[in-house]
Structure 1
Amino acid sequence: MVSIKDIAKKAGVSISTVSYAINGNPKVTKETSTRILAVAKELNYVPNAAARSLKKQETKIIGVFLTDFNGAFYGELLQGIKEVLNKQGYDLIVCSGVQSHRLLPERTIDGAIVLDTSFSSEELLQYAERGHKLVVLDRELSHANVNQVLLDNKAGAALAMEYLIEEGHRKIYVVAGPEASFDSMQRLQAVRQVVNRHQPLAYTQILGDFNKSAGEEAAKQIIQEYTEPVAVFCLNDEMAIGLYNAVKKSEYKIGTHIHIIGFDNIELTQYTEPRLATIDYSKRKWGALASEQLLKLIDDKEIDHERIYVTLVKGNSVRTV
């Protein structure tokens, strides 16, 4: 690999002069700088980003950690993150998995936005204690170097359940997310609170994983147990779509025999017929706000925890004549 030492030797100048020229320092004349940069280009010199970031104590790169990349949820969230960061001169690295955690202690990134269950809360607090700046989207943590930008999961789940009950349903299935998911736990807590307020109510919980396949599996159980019209609250739209597709292939009708509501308002729900009910919020705004809060943390500005609010999108039913 070509170093500034090689450039200095060929250009006949000192190493410090090469460094000044490469970094645009006015201590070097325009003529000398042009000559040095021409030599650097001739030798195919590539600056050592790690060494440069160590010197400046910044990389201008933010890490976004996700549990996985499946489904239609992440695109808008990442777009919101990217737009804010790019305007402020930052780029982002999107990664997943335990091995990627080392980007924090290695200071490859200036801060992180975390929506990733592979991080334990204890691990994140250890990084925060060492001075790393973090914004979490999937848990509650208390530390000066950590900010929370959380979705109002409880309000959304309560809206969904109250909607089904107001529609006259007394038998409700709930298809949950992974057991380790903060969002799923928050939504289930709200579900149980609503159920307790509306007794007697037949309530059955089915374990899912936030993927379409879980909705398809849930449909098998619901169809097998079917004796009267039921409602199903899927804790995300991916599972709602899976359930919807499976029911459409059966003898039962969506909106007549089985009523479905999801959570996230992904684009695909708009094209179902009948249109699926769901819980809506701006994923782009969530990402943008997470970026804004992280940049404030990096600049040591005072910030408060933020919450992303939700609304109900009602579906339309199909009735038999």
Structure 2
Amino acid sequence: MATMKDIARLAGVSTSTVSHVINQSRYVSEEISARVNQAAQDLNYTPSALARSLKMNRTKTLGMLMTTSTNPFFGEVVKGVERCCYQKGYNLILCNTEGDSQRMKASINTLLQKRVDGMILMCSSLEGERIDIFEKYPDVPVVVMDWGPMLFASDKIQDNSLQGGYMAARYLIENGHTQIGCITGPLHRHQAQMRYEGYKRAMREAGLEFNPHWIVESNFECDGGYQAFNRMYDKGPLPSALFVCNDMMAMGVINAAHEKGLSVPQDFSIIGYDDIHIAKFMTPPLTTIHQPKYRLGQAAVETLLSKLEDLSRDALVVQLEPTLIERNTVKCYALSTQS
């Protein structure tokens, strides 16, 4: 394999001049640059990424840990991370933790040994974990996404789930619904709890009562929405509307309702959360709360790179705001006639 010394010998220049041309680290005349580049081409020279990273103390590589899920929400976030990495000239190593604490810590160890410049964590099922290894690598910044309280210093990217939950319930109320249920995510998870709190705030403001039969905790997956609806159905009359705290569970709810001969929004209304790509192609198209998924991923990379530029700055919390997407799953009642 050709080296810079080989290029220098063929081009008739010093090794340092070759280095400046290859790395574009200093001005070199056009005539000499052309000779060096031609020599490199003739020798099939390929720059060593490892050697460059050791010299610059940067690998131009970021690591990302996430938990596998059937929810395409995560894939849409990763798309934003990967695209932003590409635009900024960085590579991305993606690791799957499968919700396992030991696997997460092993993956973090591996990424640190590969000298990644920074890490993005999207493992919300592991909230509250103490990850002591980060204390040994203070020069490797960490950004967490979709996570609750942390036991280590890092920047944080999150959507305003409290506001999103409030917007969802408020929209149902504004459409004349007074009997409103909620299928939550796992309430030990911060984002699920905040969406539920937003729902409760809107209900309290409107002076509406909470029927415990209409509040069901589930798992953020399609099967969870399916099972939650069946449990609610078995307890008695349904509410006129449901806030289902993510679109995947909403799909399960609609499927379960269809099996029982019920249709949306004729028999009951539903609003979801996330606005995953397939939400607008559901039957009927799902009214939902939009999370800026691509922007979440982009913001994580941009925040991480800004930390690399200034490791001494204080930790940031970057919060992106949700928006309402109106489609066809919420029936509007005249306020005077809603029972």
Q: TM-score, normalised by structure 1?
A: 0.78
Write the distance in 1 (CA, Å) between the matches of 2:239 and 2:194: 27
Residue number in structure 2 paired with 1:227: 237
Q: What is the aligned-residue identity percentage? A: 24
Contact in 2 for aligned 1:213/1:242 (Cα 8 Å): yes
Contact in 1 for aligned 2:148/2:190 (Cα 8 Å): no
Q: Which runs of 5+ in 1 are unaligned?
A: none
Residue number in structure 1 paired with 2:336: none
Residue number in structure 1 paired with 2:192: 184
Query: How much does 1:70 deviate?
Result: 2.3
Query: How much does 1:100 deviate?
Result: 1.7
Query: How much does 1:272 deviate?
Result: 2.9
Q: After alignment, is 186-195 or 242-251 more displaced?
A: 186-195
Count of aligned pairs between the two proteins: 312
Residue number in structure 1 paired with 2:64: 64
SS in 2 for 1:219: helix
> 1:200-220, CA deviations, whole angstroms, 9 ceiling, x for partnerless residues?
231433232211111111122
Q: After alignment, is 235-244 or 287-296 more displaced?
A: 287-296
Is 1:163 the counterpart of 2:175? The answer is no
Residue number in structure 2 paired with 1:299: 309
Q: After alignment, is 180-189 or 123-132 more displaced?
A: 123-132
Contact in 2 for aligned 1:215/1:238 (Cα 8 Å): yes
SS in 2 for 1:73: helix
Residue 278 to residue 107, structure 1, CA distance change in 2 (3 Å): same
Instruction: Name the amino acid aligned to 2:168.
Output: A
Residue number in structure 1 paired with 2:112: 105
RMSD (CA atoms)? 3.9
Query: How much does 1:33 deviate?
Result: 8.3
Q: Which runs of 5+ in 2 are unaligned?
A: 98-103, 334-339
Instruction: Name the amino acid aligned to 1:254.
Output: V
SS in 2 for 1:270: helix
Residue number in structure 2 paired with 1:122: 130
Is 1:259 the counterpart of 2:269? The answer is yes
Is 1:79 the counterpart of 2:79? The answer is yes
Instruction: Name the amino acid aligned to 1:168.
Output: H
Write the distance in 2 (CA, Å) between the matches of 1:262 and 1:300: 39
SS in 2 for 1:77: helix
Write the distance in 2 (CA, Å) between the matches of 1:263 and 1:191: 12
Instruction: Name the amino acid aligned to 2:210.
Output: L
Write the distance in 2 (CA, Å) between the matches of 1:181 and 1:277: 24
Query: How much does 1:143 deviate?
Result: 9.8
Equivalent residue in structure 2 for 1:202, among 205, 211, 215: 211
Residue 96 to residue 262, structure 1, CA distance change in 2 (3 Å): same
> 1:75-114, CA deviations, whole angstroms, 9 ceiling, x for partnerless residues?
3322322332222211212222123222443253111122
Equivalent residues in 2 for 1:3-42, closer than 5 Å: none
Write the distance in 2 (CA, Å) between the matches of 1:165 and 1:33: 68
Query: How much does 1:283 deviate?
Result: 1.2
Is 1:247 the counterpart of 2:262? The answer is no
Contact in 2 for aligned 1:114/1:134 (Cα 8 Å): yes
Write the distance in 2 (CA, Å) between the matches of 1:318 and 1:80: 35
> 1:278-300, CA deviations, whole angstroms, 9 ceiling, x for partnerless residues?
11132112222222111111111
Instruction: Name the amino acid aligned to 1:115.
Output: M
Contact in 1 for aligned 2:177/2:241 (Cα 8 Å): no
Query: How much does 1:244 deviate?
Result: 0.9
Residue number in structure 2 paired with 1:313: 325
